Structure 1
Amino acid sequence: MTTRLMYIELKSGYSDNGPAWIGLVTFSRTMRTIYFNNKAFGKKRGIGSNFYDIETGNEYWVSGVKKNGEDRHWAGNGKILIDKKVIDDYLKITGDERLDKSKFEITEIKETRDKKDFVEIENQIYE
């Protein structure tokens, strides 16, 4: 499975001000499901969101991190939670020497449980 450093923002109920994270995302073989922070997200088409939580249906925006460090939508605000394990990688991408504490809060993102659990959930949805 492929992993990549990504920006993830909850859109349901928040518009552009939802909780946001930067961390490692694991992609399924088909690249249509991603795993992050003990959740599984299915790919969807849309303007305001491009993934949904397969357990709750909540919508999310998921994208690669931006080299200029401006990951949050221009109309949004709030600190981005960044996984402490990826800070060095993020700083290499942005070319910054350190995190801007006014934009980020350091956190520890959970490992995702067994992906087979999510396959069972998805199968129940489509039965």
Structure 2
Amino acid sequence: MHDRIMFVQLKTGYNTDAGPSWIAKVRFSKSWSTVYFHGRTLRRVTGTAYANHNANFYDVDSGEAYWISGPKRDRTDARYGHGVPTVDEDARVAYDKFLDGAPLPGRERG
């Protein structure tokens, strides 16, 4: 399993990039095809099933669509919008250091 600080946004039920978003510590499976986030199991989208949501992961239990990507230093994390993500407490210190120029944990080499 691989822990990473990521940008996560709920897409289902919201207009483009209007859903709630987080900077959070997530856990990826060994194959990187499954993400564990806030007690949810999110699986990587394959095919076109979630294309109209602009999603790259979906919740295996609820079917909700999510966008997950690495955070950006300029804070333009949402794909098309300007929403401000909630920073989870367990990610705050590493994220603040990242904004100041440090690499994220697990990404020291890029």
* TM-score of the two chains, using structure 2 as the length reference: 0.78
Residue 64 of structure 2: aligned partner: 58
Matches within 5 A, 1:1-127: 1-14=1-14, 15-45=16-46, 48-77=54-83, 79-95=84-100
Shift of 1:39: 0.2
Give the C-alpha shift of residue 70 in structure 1.
1.9
- Structure 1: gaps (5+ residues): 97-127
- Name which one, 1 or 2, has greater alpha-carbon Rg: 1
Change (3 A) 1:76 1:67: closer
Q: What code does the residue aligned with 2:72 have?
A: K
Relative contact order higher in (CA < 8 Å, ≥ 6 apart): 2
Structure 2: distance between partners of 1:13 and 1:72: 16
- Give the superposition deviation at 1:16: 1.0
Residue by residue, what CA displacement relative to the aligned partner does 1:43-80 show, whole Å, maximum 9, x if unpaired?
01465110000001110000011122221234343x42
> May I ask how many residue pairs the two structures share in their alignment?
95
Q: Tell me which amino acid in the other structure corresponds to 1:2.
A: H
What's the TM-score, normalizing by structure 1? Answer: 0.68
Give distance in 1, aligned partners of 2:39 and 2:4: 16
Identity across aligned pairs (percent)? 34
Q: Greater share of helix residues, 1 or 2?
A: 1
* Contact 2:24–2:88 (CA under 8 A) maintained in structure 1: yes
Query: Quick one: distance in 1 between partners of 2:33 and 2:7?
Result: 17
Distance in 2 between residues matched to 1:38 and 1:54, nearest whole Å: 12
1:85 deviation in Å?
A: 1.8
Alpha-carbon displacement from aligned partner over 1:11-36 (angstroms, at most 9, x marks no partner):
11113100111111101111100101
Task: Determine the C-alpha separation between the residues in 2 that align with 1:76 and 1:66.
Answer: 13
**Contact conserved, 2:76 with 2:82, CA < 8 A, in 1?**
no
